[in-house]
Structure 1
């Protein structure tokens, strides 16, 4: 198995041992946590109290059930006043933000194992702006072995109480993602943090397309708290699809025609290592490797909606989003030119698809989303959707693109998302239809996604919030022509229509039926609403 390069402060933490931690020079000054107040903490039971050096100050440190607090000790003058004429503000750190604790030691050349004890290092998950998380450290310096041992054991006991945090993970790594950087991303940025956290890992590097799917069908997962995939959108979708298929098999659900799928277990972690990283971006609010890793380490879980795709009553696959028409054709062209670099291939496919832009003659039926409490209660009691008040609607005509998305689909070219009004788990999908128009007008619509608003403010664009969608192509206009296209890697057929499902090409010969299933899979990630609402009052950030 390939090994990653380790550098800086994590190099000393071989195997996540408890004997050593980073040097004081690598620690983040404690002032970073100044002025973070905990509501209602006055009644917290005090567990320990002692003296540690933090930064350059000797501090009175108090460990309670919810937080660690400290205040510099100020010597009094003969008049009884503090040395500086004022009291330093108390600083605090919430215990839920700590993800590991190590004994801090200094090693000399002669010492191999037991170095000189310096104190304790706490590893912190620090919230930054724009949904970004960062790992940092806080050193509690005290040379007493007995004193540090008592505190170290108490910190370990506290961390063991966070039962939602994973202790063992199955890692699936796609070495072909993007610029073949997935292995480097994992071994240089992800693995060191997992080792610091003491999380055991089992890494499988996939060898071919569909390897993860076949592996997860038979792989024993009972010993793992979660599965983590390192790759792009297509690979992530493959792993999610495999976990959901596995859940149906374990529950005895017939996979030929899945109407009410059972949720997938265990949770899935998504490390962005692709070219667009739509799912990771939508999940974390930012396609940031360290942020994604820390959400996994901290055990942050989001329940996410998933769609089922079927045709003529036969189940095809699970997925989060789909595009038919321009989106499908562009992906088919990109797949055909896999020999190009990723960014160049994507740009080439879009330009060529725009050059050959033509509408698809089809009929679209959809069931509007009804979020009423009565409807939710009826569904919980097992009533079929056809028995609810909502009625199917139908539109037909010439369409340049049809998008069906159960998640916001954030990406670099669409900072608010391709479906900005959709959430991860509200039980609905966005149906976005671009009717036939001139090429310049359609390009204006595509470019508008880069702005923060008005993507759909065009007369030819229609948006709906739906629960189910059926797309019936009525002509052969969108079918692949083998003589003209040659097909992507042999998958094209003269009798198929190209669909873009989570960045993966799916070809279907007839109509496609899409259903959304609320909160069908658990993904490691924090709620963007909560992260956006969180505020840090420290002026030094």
Structure 2
């Protein structure tokens, strides 16, 4: 031991982990960490004042100091196995650096009386990082007893033990495979979890695999490493298979679908990553993986889509028709441009400025319960009505079988004179001309729209926010799109936008009235995927908290 290290700590020293108090007493000889930003050297546990942390794993096999590389440990999860007596926040700045790093020698010297406790700590902008405590005990028996105690306490948490992982090797120009090899696998190996990796070889590979094979009895969690498209494949395959196993008819629009039990996760590695961003407030892959390791669980709403009387798919973020659908369709022809294709496609569509006419029928909940906002249990810095971790609105929705909504003051009906009837009528319909129709299932956040398509939409209240942007000029349409991207939170309050909280809606096109459209039927943008408008009616219906995911919700 270093002569300058503090001696056996006093009995008053303690570490609080997951609300449990652990007294260090005389068993531990020293607890020390690498000083940060002016922290004094040789800081003891008492002066460090370690507050509530979250352990996701602990182990007694710590590598010797000779295998420590401080520069690499700060940019790679493998750095968790660095020098003893060291606490650090691990950052992953560039994936390229990860690819160049060599794995640490597995035959390194083991120090049996060193217990390494791996912790999660909050970083900036909803991101999570790993830190760890390296504790040296007087002998290996005491060290082993501590590890057994910690492991026993961790067993009360519902954490995954066997995972199935789908990876799109071409996602994000190969970024998905890189993330899997340098984030997903090392973390799972670190926590001694069992897993199986399947690389997709074609479109709908993951969906077909879910439909044809029964993974429910062999895994307790499924990960999709890729973009929103891969997650959609996994989610739809799981749900369709579970409905068939439960004897449900997916083609029945009024069917009460069975919820899936196992949690799934989106490890972001695509271009948009809207789903991961919506769940965590960031598209950081390490953060998404750490939510998996600690076994977080949040049930979310989904929207079923039926073309006529035939089931098509489930949607998890948003469905849109008109301008946004046309932009997506046009961008498919410009894939060679990469991400800038959306800007080029948007400009082309704005010049054409298509106008659609059709009949929209929407279903409002029978009960309206004004609450004046939600109770924020996380932080007073979050605006009211914003969905977050420990959201009271979603908790109440899980307890109540009847969907209840709060009619926001800025929500308006298609026809203002009919607005007073909303509280008593369950079904409303109107034939209108419009530029956009947007149904927001969950807030639908992404880097281009940090506040989402509807900032007050919730993850699990069973309510969709239906926005209809009337027939407006190209200039005003540009203002609307810019307000979404500018993160101003006012795009739903504009005079030409009508918004409703609904449990479902349907759309029937009027081809004789539609104009300036290349395709008279139009195209739906469903979670970033193309769905052509059928000749008959298309139906959308919300399903409250249908599927569990590895997430908590956005934290301040």
Query: What SS is found at the alignment partner of 2:261?
Result: coil
1:197–1:371 CA distance, 2 compared to 1 (3 A): farther
Match of 1:247? 242
> Given the alignment, which residue of 408, 422, 435 partners 1:400?
435
Q: Which residues in structure 2 correspond to 1:83-102 (within 5 Å)?
A: 88-89=46-47, 91-94=49-52, 96-102=54-60
1:36–1:323 CA distance, 2 compared to 1 (3 A): farther
The reply to whether residue 128 of structure 1 matches residue 86 of structure 2 is: no
The reply to whether residue 470 of structure 1 matches residue 506 of structure 2 is: yes
Query: What SS is found at the alignment partner of 1:419?
Result: coil
TM-score normalised by L of structure 1: 0.76
Q: Which structure's residues are more often strand, by fraction?
A: 1
**C-alpha distance in structure 2 between counterparts of 1:92 and 1:377, whole Å:** 35
1:39–1:161 CA distance, 2 compared to 1 (3 A): closer
Match of 2:61? 103
**C-alpha distance in structure 1 between counterparts of 2:188 and 2:126, whole Å:** 20
Match of 2:290? 294
Q: Does the 8 A contact of 1:101 with 1:155 survive in 2? A: no
Match of 1:358? 354
Match of 1:16? none
1:167-201 Cα offsets, whole Å, 9 max, x none, are: 11000111222323110111112221121111111
Aligned residues: 451
Q: Which residues in structure 2 correspond to 1:185-264 (within 5 Å)?
A: 185-221=179-215, 222-258=217-253, 259-264=255-260
Q: Does the 8 A contact of 2:360 with 2:507 survive in 1? A: yes
- Structure 1 residue 381: deviation in Å? 8.7
**C-alpha distance in structure 2 between counterparts of 1:146 and 1:355, whole Å:** 74
The two structures, once aligned, show a CA RMSD in angstroms of 3.3
- Structure 1 residue 420: deviation in Å? 0.9
TM-score normalised by L of structure 2: 0.74
* Residue segments in structure 2 that go unaligned for 5+ positions in a row: 1-12, 35-41, 68-104, 371-395, 404-422
Q: Does the 8 A contact of 2:514 with 2:520 survive in 1? A: no
> Given the alignment, which residue of 299, 302, 306 partners 1:303?
299
1:48–1:187 CA distance, 2 compared to 1 (3 A): farther
Question: Which moved further from structure 2: 293-302 or 137-146?
Answer: 137-146
- Structure 1 residue 157: deviation in Å? 2.4
Match of 1:460? 496
Match of 2:530? 505
> Given the alignment, which residue of 512, 520, 544 partners 1:518?
544
- Structure 1 residue 434: deviation in Å? 0.9
> Given the alignment, which residue of 312, 329, 333 partners 1:332?
329
Match of 1:344? 340
The reply to whether residue 50 of structure 1 matches residue 75 of structure 2 is: no
> Given the alignment, which residue of 124, 141, 150 partners 1:146?
141
* Residue segments in structure 1 that go unaligned for 5+ positions in a row: 1-33, 58-69, 74-87, 383-387, 485-493, 533-541
Query: What SS is found at the alignment partner of 2:467?
Result: strand
> Given the alignment, which residue of 278, 285, 290 partners 2:281?
285
1:45–1:379 CA distance, 2 compared to 1 (3 A): closer
Q: Does the 8 A contact of 1:100 with 1:159 survive in 2? A: no
**C-alpha distance in structure 2 between counterparts of 1:143 and 1:51, whole Å:** 6
1:116–1:143 CA distance, 2 compared to 1 (3 A): farther
